Chains A and B, each alone.
Chain A
Amino acid sequence: MSEINPIVIFFAAIFTNNMILSNFLGMCSFIAVSSEIKTSLSLGQAVTFVLTFTTLLNWMVYHWLLVPLGLEYLRFIIFIIVIAAFTQLVEMIIDRYFQSLYYALGIFLPLITVNCAILGVSLFMVIRDYTLLQSMAFGVGSGLGWTLAIVTLAGIKQKIKNNPLPKGLEGAGITLIITGIMALAFIGFSGIVQIQ
């Protein structure tokens, strides 16, 4: 596993192993916050940002602290703490120094702590035994892939907003069907790069 080029991992994480469309991670906020392109883009940025750094931090904590001490089984708790602490810290920093950024990203940061994609990427990184550089590429790529998926979905949802839908399919139902069609489209990418 560890000889794959980080660039390959980066593109695979965006297209062939997209977090939402092939691993179902981060669905909760995906469905709830995908009604406007602008909001989805901000959320996507926040997710990408947090993903990049938490993946790095978690890699360091896992390989330099948990493995030497033989405490691998504590990784769930440790990862959650790292993610929660990091989002809290970032929220405070951008609130203090980057006010305009705070209005764009700030409200989404608490949401992100419970986003399954963040924890999922860290767990995948451990299971696939990535090196530091590979983990970084994986983190950034996953974040961008997630952004791509949620922005696309928001675009499609805006288009169909005023169209009549079958009864009972409004809301979550149609969102899932659209996501299914998107996933189908993304299968077209498979074979270009392969990391599994």
Chain B
Amino acid sequence: MASNVKKLAILGMWKDNPVFRQILGICSSLAVTNLMMNSLIMGLGLMFVTAFSSLTVSLIRQFTPKHIRMMVQTFIIAVYVIIVDIFLKAYQPDISAALGPYVGLIITNCIIMGRCEAYAQNNPPHLSFLDGLFMGAGYAVVLLVIAFFRELLGFGSLFGIEILGSWWVDWTLMIMPPGAFFMLGILIWVTKNMFPDTNKDAKATEKGGAKA
């Protein structure tokens, strides 16, 4: 059990990280990364939705007819997203307004559907729950890393607290959309270079060899 948890954690947070490795769910990942606070809330919301929808899908997997399972999964995800949305509106109205439609867009985030389909459908509930939790956590970490650089360079602050002081000239481009694209592009580049995916590398050399 303990080794399973560790394995899932490493898979979700690092080896199969949904954003870096699978380039999934970046729609909403970019829009909310101009502030650390927004990213944190979004990340927590996504962790909650992924974990519990994986759990639910896994619990009812024996009773779900195969051909309508996509529809069932979508409903389950939507229910949890509505819970997150209502919760935010009630307790964090400012952040709810700042996130705007992006909370609702968690429904169409491919990560959740992908985990339900690929993992929860064939695995016991407790493992599915953890898998969803760690995949969500992997996503949240990426959000926070991007937000860290964007907020630091764009506003000179972190979580709204001024860090860089008055000498820093705000790099406005960073908090505008292009900043997000550049940041994620660079992040993917750096991670791919520093920690190459061994399987993919082997394939790439094979391909290159065949071409040459």
**Band of interface residues on A:** 35 or more
Interface membership of B189, Cβ < 8 A: yes
Q: Could you tell me the distance between the alpha carbons of A173 and B26 in the complex, rounded to whole angstroms?
A: 13
- Contact in complex: A80, B107 (CB < 8 Å): yes
- Chain A contacts with B in 173-188, Cβ cutoff 8 A: 173-177, 179-181, 183-184, 187
- Contact in complex: A177, B27 (CB < 8 Å): no
Q: Which residues of B contact A (CB under 8 A)?
A: 23-28, 30-31, 71, 74-75, 78-79, 81-82, 85-86, 100-101, 104-105, 107-110, 113, 173, 176-182, 184-186, 188-190, 192-193, 196
- Give A5 Cβ to nearest chain B Cβ, in Å: 23
The residue that A76 contacts in the complex, of B85, B188, B190, with Cβ under 8 A, is B85
* 6 examples of A-B residue contacts, CB within 8 angstroms: A22-B177, A27-B26, A27-B27, A77-B79, A114-B108, A176-B181
- Give B56 Cβ to nearest chain A Cβ, in Å: 15
Given A31-B23, A173-B192, A21 contacting B28 (CB threshold 8 A): no
Given A27-B27, A80-B74, A167-B193, A180 contacting B181 (CB threshold 8 A): yes
Q: Could you tell me the distance between the alpha carbons of A175 and B190 in the complex, rounded to whole angstroms?
A: 15
Q: Which residues of A contact B (CB under 8 A)?
A: 21-28, 31, 73-77, 80, 84, 114-116, 119-120, 123-124, 127, 166-169, 172-177, 179-181, 183-184, 187
- Contact in complex: A119, B178 (CB < 8 Å): no
Q: Could you tell me the distance between the alpha carbons of A21 and B31 in the complex, rounded to whole angstroms?
A: 10
- Contact in complex: B82, A173 (CB < 8 Å): no
Interface secondary structure of B, over-half rule: helix
The residue that B113 contacts in the complex, of A114, A167, A187, with Cβ under 8 A, is A114
The residue that A181 contacts in the complex, of B27, B71, B178, with Cβ under 8 A, is B178
Q: Could you tell me the distance between the alpha carbons of A26 and B110 in the complex, rounded to whole angstroms?
A: 11
List chain A residues, Cβ under 8 A from B104: 75-76, 119, 123
Closest residue on chain A to residue B184 by CB atoms: A176
- Contact in complex: A119, B184 (CB < 8 Å): no
Q: Could you tell me the distance between the alpha carbons of A31 and B192 in the complex, rounded to whole angstroms?
A: 18
